[in-house]
Amino acid sequence: MSYFENFMKANQAYVELHGTLNLPIRPKTKVAIVTCMDSRLHVAHALGLALGDAHILRNAGGRVTEDMIRSLVISQQQMGTREIVVLHHTDCGAQTFKNEEFQAHLERTFGLDVSDQDFLPFTDVEESVREDMELLRQSPLIPADVVISGAVYDVDTGRMTEVQ
């Protein structure tokens, strides 16, 4: 049995709370948040977001990748967002490995050469936020007047600290 059945059950109760909202497709705050998939980071709760407020784009590490840019371009050009927050966090899974050893692990596991693939690990979380903010600033697909902010979320305390 998978966990999926529990989700289906929980959703029945959620539907009662949710009601029928008919919210607009464009996020109310005009903000897109780029963050990590970490299960200890409940973005909406931590940032005071309600349904319909913001786009939340997540991947491993909350890194600015080609696909993250793809989502941001759709977010901005189709859904009207004009501000981006890069939110990384303490004790991130992207800090638990180095490219070379992870590539070797994958080669042993799958018999595939992934030596040209960057899994975007990092050691300094503030530095990774700055790097990703810089990638956004340099992207020709992100307008220069888009407001870009960065922060680190502490998974132990729930506190968010701005990164300049």
Interface contacts to Zn ion, rule CB under 5 A:
36, 38, 92-93
Instruction: Transcribe 103-141 into DSSP letters.
Output: HHHHHHHH----TT------S-HHHHHHHHHHHHHH-TT
| Min separation Cβ 88 and Zn ion, Å | 7
| Min separation Cβ 144 and Zn ion, Å | 29
| Min separation Cβ 103 and Zn ion, Å | 19
In the complex with Zn ion, the residue whose CB is nearer, 52 or 93, is 93
In the complex with Zn ion, the residue whose CB is nearer, 36 or 64, is 36
In the complex with Zn ion, the residue whose CB is nearer, 38 or 132, is 38
